[in-house]
Amino acid sequence: MSDGLHLVITTPSAVLADAAGIRSLRAEDASGGFGILPGHADLLTVLPASVIRWRDLKGKMHFCAVSGGIVTVSGGREVSIACRQGTLSDDLTKLEEDVKRMRSKLADVDRCSRVEQARMHANAVRQLMKYLRPGEGRAIAPTDGKAEI
């Protein structure tokens, strides 16, 4: 096949790449790194968080960092990658900076989420305590010493 591979990389909310004329593609799964060339056998594999790299017919390298995903190769030409998150770049150094920024942002979101969850939990406990001890904190009229049921 002289026209190369057709690559599509998607997230749930966007198409990151839709490129035809791919000469070769490299990725890695749990068993290690692998390459895909035109005419490759059908394949389905799971990707860990990693960098996918491909070379177009002009010889230019492209990169995509993914947070894990699934690769399918069909018909020896169609390569599809579905991932939760990803970022593209033609410069590996810039890609590294983008990934660091993305991880930092995710860590901030996670931290804020944990704080909010703790706040909601504390409020729920306070409400339960009010419900279980309704008379606490209010002045109670003295009784004649007999317990009321």
Identify the DSSP state of 127. H
Nearest 10 degrees: CA dihedral of 36, 40, 44, 47?
0
CA distance 149 to 120: 35
Q: What is the mean pLDDT of residues 78-106?
A: 86
Q: Are strands 15-29 and 32-36 parallel, antiparallel or unpaired?
A: antiparallel
CA distance 80 to 87: 16
Q: Which residue has the higher pLDDT, 6 or 131?
A: 6
Q: What is the mean pLDDT of residues 108-124?
A: 90
Q: Are strands 5-10 and 78-83 parallel, antiparallel or unpaired?
A: parallel
